[in-house]
Amino acid sequence: MSAARDPDPLAEYKARRDFDRTAEPAGTLAEARRDGLRFLVQKHDATRLHWDFRLEWNGVLLSWAVTRGPSDDPHEKRLAVRTEDHPLDYGTFEGTIPAGQYGGGTVMMWDHGTYTPDTDMDAGLETGKLKVTLQGHRMRGGWALVRMRRKPGEKRENWLLIKERDAFARDDADRLTRDHLLSVQTGRAMDAIAQGAPPGDPPEPDTPARRKKRPAFTAPQLATLVDAAPDGDDWIHETKFDGYRCLAAIGKGGARLYTRSGKDWTDRFAALSRAFDPLPCDAALLDGEVMAAYIRGSAFSSLQRALKDGAPLVYYAFDLLSLDGTDLRRSPLIDRRARLADLLSGLPPNGPLRISAHTVGDGPALFAAACKAGAEGIVSKRADAPYRGARTRAWVKVKCTRRQEFVIGGYTPSDKPGRPFASLLVGQMENGALAYRGRVGTGFSADDLVALAAAFTPRQTSPFDDVPRAIARDARWIRPDLVAEVDFTELTADGHVRHGSFLGLRHDKPAAGVTPERPASDDTPRIAGVRLSSGDREIFPRAGCTKRDLARYVEAAGDRLTRIAGHRPLSLLRLPTGLQGQRFFQKHAGKGWPSELQRIEIAESDGNPAEYLYATRPASFVAAVQMGAIEFHVWGARTDRLDRPDRLVFDLDPDEGLGWPQTRDAAFDVRDRLAALGLASTPVVTGGKGVHVCTILRRTREWDTVKLFARTFAHILERDAPDRYVATMSKARRKGRIFVDWLRNERGSTAIAPYSVRARPGAPVAVPVAWDELAGLDAADTFRMAHMADRLAAPCPYLAALDDPQSLNAATIDRLDG
């Protein structure tokens, strides 16, 4: 009973039994395996009623006698006494052990199924801690076995069998043993087994009492093949599974499982029949993929074997289309994924129903990692997209390998004894005809050869529209209704597969729908060289402005934006779904940001480094728009000398009760006071309610000096005109006054960039103006994005000021102090 492998681990089992008198199997040591592991529980009415809990490991059944039976209440810790290992043949034994024999009494097959170790089994047997996930008829989910400390003189190993807290747990200590009194194998009660009654039908499994009918099948969304993974945080990425696409409809009467073409494959996926039982809902429609639980060789061929052998399956859910009668297909994918994660949150991580993991952004790097790990590829999905039952570019797939489906239209005979054919002749539908695509001659197992030959239906003529004469001469033609999954190295110039390898038959796809899969042409529009997705999304509903309109404006203003706001740490106000949606201020660089935006590491005020973005060209700003940005906010220093600010900004922010004339007059007052100190300035109407009065500086002073100057200047304004100005942020003191915000002039603070659009109704723009022009303006939000063409063609006073920087010298500071 130790973890170490005994020369004959069944020696004790055999020594205790007289196989001439008992019907128990003598058994032999089986080959050890690490997948498809079985577990079983036998109710055993011997000297004392107990339940024998058995786990397949190292070719035997590890065994524990559970005196009060298993409990799915996590508060219950059931004594489980370790007994001798049993042969795997014992896994079907049900009957009566004669009196006088070891364990004499009636044995019922109370539960059986498969399990997954959640810990290292050999190490756990040594340390006394095992965790497993069971997929049985009655015991399901996570369970733990914990060995108790031996008391002095105690020979037996006492363990505790404990249910893990998950969706299969119940607050009823004796529910399992009280409610399940019949054999899962023969449907007989203990008395009937003892009396030798003939086997009956197994009992119907428990199904949850759901109150709503199952949702109807809906056509699944399909991914478009592309050459490169998309970049940016508005995409999420998932592993591309190599299994069967499957929609799971859950409701009254249980779950039904459908292929992507709508075939009901619930019976074929019988191993998943109860996987959806613990979901806390009355009805749901999930989208996902069925995979083999244990992969040996390719994932698809492993799935084929699992379906043939009845081995465990896993359903990886990646979308939730409806829940309890609510259609979720119009909701953004990221919201549907959140609802799906919540629905599946109580399930064990290694159970038959799992959520498909996803990554936000960084598509190219994730694709490279997937290929390196040997995956088929990735599927990338727009995070904000609704679910559409068609092939769209909101879902795209990128493949690491060349793999497609082909219709089998014939074969070439083999000259090897016992081999029914040498290679398959395959094609794909094009223009209503079956176009020949070459031969597939490898990848067949012995079972594949037999099964394929049996499935062929001969025909006299070629189903292909064009077969090379040399191939057709020896070919045998068959009815073209079988679909094969084929891996190949490349397509030749004439479109034929090179080095084709058979992976398996696709029973879920009709032959008529098998067409060439080619990467879609990249028709995504480019603006300033940047791919722009969802260009028709309305960003400013009242103004009728779309994401494409915003990107085109930013491209047009790009040269000015680059000169004024380029090469400065950049913060973005992002509204990925437009003015009506969620907004957030992004200060630091994130994963998956476009390469058009550069990164720089800057020490924060706490000394820790952080990555910031900065723009270097018009495409940088367009790339930010692609990521959902509307507003650009920049530092008062450039990236090459972050310690030396090159501008002063006084943000004049009026109280709610003040009108535009007071704000405009305040700007002229600030201009005159700065001029008296020898400093020229330029006004920028912010597109909101206020004005920024800006002075371009020579980079001769550090932040502390510039900040102190700005602070002192603002407080002098308040001192001289306390009824007009306030220099502190206190809302109570700002009533009826203009807040002179000098805080824009400290390290790390930002101000709206001139020519940035504002995230306000009507799409206003922050625009530099001349002083004489300011006098004639009626509001700070006069300029609108849709009417900026003439403005961008006119001279810019801010650009002129950049060519004439001012000096914040000692004399200027002295005059301010004076």
DSSP string across 727-785: -S--HHHHTTSEEEE-GGGSTT--EEPTTPBPSSTT-BB-EE--HHHHTT-S-TT--BG
- Same domain? 389 vs 419: no
Q: Residue 202: inside a domain, yes or no?
A: no
Q: Residue 304: inside a domain, yes or no?
A: yes
Residue 646 confidence (pLDDT): 97
d(CA 361, CA 575): 17
- Same domain? 32 vs 111: yes
Q: How confident is the model at residue 4 (pLDDT cuts 50, 70, 90)?
A: very low
The Cα angle at residue 386 between residues 289 and 632, in degrees rounded to 5: 120
Tell me the H-state helices in 71-148. 121-127
**Beta bridge pairs of residue 316:** 289, 354
- Same domain? 539 vs 505: no
Question: At 358, which CATH number?
Answer: 3.30.470.30
Residue for token digits 């799915």? 72
Query: Which residue, among 769, 779, 563, 780, has the nearest Cα to 671 in the 3D structure?
Result: 769
Mean pLDDT (the chain, rounded):
91
- Same domain? 601 vs 673: no
Residue 750 confidence (pLDDT): 96
Query: Which residue, among 559, 560, 628, 638, has the nearest Cα to 598 in the 3D structure?
Result: 638
- Same domain? 686 vs 759: yes
Of 618, 638, 658, the domain-final residue = 638
Q: How confident is the model at residue 721 (pLDDT cuts 50, 70, 90)?
A: very high
Q: Residue 204: inside a domain, yes or no?
A: no
Query: Which residue, among 354, 500, 491, has the nearest Cα to 425 in the 3D structure?
Result: 500
CB 597 within 8 A of CB 615: yes
* Residue 529 zone, left/alpha/beta (φ > 0; ψ -120 to 50; rest): left
Of 468, 490, 513, the domain-final residue = 513
- Would you say residue 80 has pLDDT above 70? yes
Q: Which two tokens stand for residue 685?
A: 């109407």
Helix (H, G, I), strand (E, B) or coil at 244: strand
Q: What is the pLDDT of residues 479-535, one digit of tens each?
A: 999 999 998 888 887 889 988 999 999 988 889 889 998 877 656 678 998 888 878
Q: Residue 553: inside a domain, yes or no?
A: yes
- Would you say residue 635 has pLDDT above 90? yes
Tell me the H-state helices in 112-189. 121-127, 175-179
Q: What is the pLDDT of residues 723-738, one digit of tens each?
A: 999 999 877 788 889 9
CB 94 within 8 A of CB 108: yes
Give the total number of structural domains in the chain: 5
d(CA 774, CA 690): 12
Q: Which two tokens stand for residue 62?
A: 């590890």
Q: Residue 213: inside a domain, yes or no?
A: no
- Same domain? 336 vs 387: yes
* Residue 398 zone, left/alpha/beta (φ > 0; ψ -120 to 50; rest): beta
Q: How confident is the model at residue 781 (pLDDT cuts 50, 70, 90)?
A: very high
**Choosing from 43, 131, 163, 240, which is the catalytic residue?**
240
Q: What is the pLDDT of residues 89-146, one digit of tens each?
A: 999 999 999 999 999 999 999 999 999 999 999 999 999 999 999 999 999 999 999 9
Rounded (to 5) percent helix, strand, coil in the chain: 20, 30, 45
Question: At 800, which CATH number?
Answer: 3.90.920.10
What is the C-alpha end-to-end distance of the chain, expressed in Å?
93
Under 8 Å CB-to-CB from 307, ≥6 apart: which residues? 268, 269, 313
- Same domain? 288 vs 307: yes
- Same domain? 430 vs 551: no
Highest mean pLDDT among 163-167, 209-213, 749-753: 749-753
- Same domain? 169 vs 237: no
Q: How confident is the model at residue 3 (pLDDT cuts 50, 70, 90)?
A: very low
Q: What is the pLDDT of residues 377-418, one digit of tens each?
A: 999 999 988 999 888 888 999 988 788 999 999 999 998 888
Is the Cα torsion angle 112, 117, 122, 123 positive or negative in sign?
A: negative
- Give the count of beta carbons closer than 10 Å to the beta carbon of residue 527: 24
Residue 522 confidence (pLDDT): 58
213 catalytic? Reply is no
Angle of the 547-556 helix axis to the 558-565 helix axis, nearest 10: 70
- What percent of the chain has pLDDT above 90? 70
How confident is the model over 475-481, as a mean pLDDT?
Answer: 95
- Same domain? 464 vs 587: no
Domain extent, residue 165, equals 10-195
Q: Residue 114: inside a domain, yes or no?
A: yes
Helix (H, G, I), strand (E, B) or coil at 346: coil
Q: Residue 583: inside a domain, yes or no?
A: yes
Could you tell me which residue, 723 or 589, shows the higher pLDDT?
723
Of 513, 534, 561, the domain-final residue = 513
Q: Residue 211: inside a domain, yes or no?
A: no
The Cα angle at residue 136 between residues 135 and 140, in degrees rounded to 5: 60
Report in angstroms the alpha-carbon separations of 290 from 285, 307, 686: 15, 11, 55
DSSP state of 617: S
Question: At 436, which CATH number?
Answer: 2.40.50.140
Under 8 Å CB-to-CB from 269, ≥6 apart: which residues? 246, 257, 290, 307, 313
**Beta bridge pairs of residue 740:** 652
- Would you say residue 314 has pLDDT above 90? yes
- Same domain? 227 vs 352: yes
- Same domain? 630 vs 701: no
